[in-house]
Amino acid sequence: TVMLNDFNVVDIPSFRGRATDGPLVFDKYSAILLRYRNMDQNSEMYDHNGAKTFIFGHSESYGDIIPRKKFNNPDDPTNYHPEWFDQASIQMCLTSPSLIDEVVRRTIEELQNNTVARYVNISQNDGAGFCECATCSDETERYTRSGNVIRFQNKVIERVEAWRMENQPDRELIYNMFAYSDTANAPVFLNENGDYEALDPSIIPHEKLAIRLTRGGCLLHRIDDPNCTDNAKFYENFKGYR
């Protein structure tokens, strides 16, 4: 028997939730998943989980929304859109108007089919290989790769939200994107006051866009520990995106 003082400590993290890889994924019945605000699709028994509440799954989703086998197949001229992939080895062309049209159409279709979901996951594929067409290259140079992705997300969300307001006005949705690898760095700069500022108003995330910032570095210290150099870069990106 261990006797403890009567105390009540409550801490509310400044983020909506988190997903995990590694041992926690397999220990899906552990109460720690709730404490972590886990949003992993393997955690079916909990309220916040990908299996029930995520559209397009919980992880990388570009390939599920716009599958290359369907849209980059010359034997299927009806759906053939090589321009969506020609300049991208892994990702897709995020500035193509016709691709954005298809992403919007697919998202609305999924919202009609799944009336339970609260999260719309539109996240980059795993790995590098973003589009290098003239328009995407220009956006990346002006706004960074992260800005290029956020501008794409904003365009999709604005159109899907317009549809939702007309057809499902009582439904509350959160859209989310990965920020990792090429997009881990926030598209910001330090202004003269030492505060982070967006490179351009167009790359400020839509109010319903949640940034899922992937964490590397040290797991033994909190992310803002001033004595942990391994977490320093992640924390700067955390502040930049915030």
Q: Per-residue pLDDT tens for 20-35?
A: 666 555 555 555 655 6
| Res 165 pLDDT > 90 | yes
d(CA 68, CA 99): 12
Taking the C-alpha atoms of residue 139 and residue 151, their distance in angstroms, rounded to an integer, is 9
> What pLDDT was estimated at residue 76?
92
Is the predicted pLDDT of residue 48 greater than 90, yes or no? Answer: no
pTM here is 0.82
Question: How far, in whole angstroms, is CA 50 from its chain's centroid?
Answer: 13
Give CA angle at 74 (73, 80), nearest 5°.
70
Check residue 92 and give its pLDDT. 95
Say if CB 106 and CB 99 are below 8 A apart.
no
Give the closest residue to 56 by CA, choosing from 118, 6, 135: 118
Reported confidence tier of residue 37, pLDDT bands at 50, 70, 90: low
What confidence category does residue 84 fall into, taking pLDDT thresholds of 50, 70 and 90?
very high
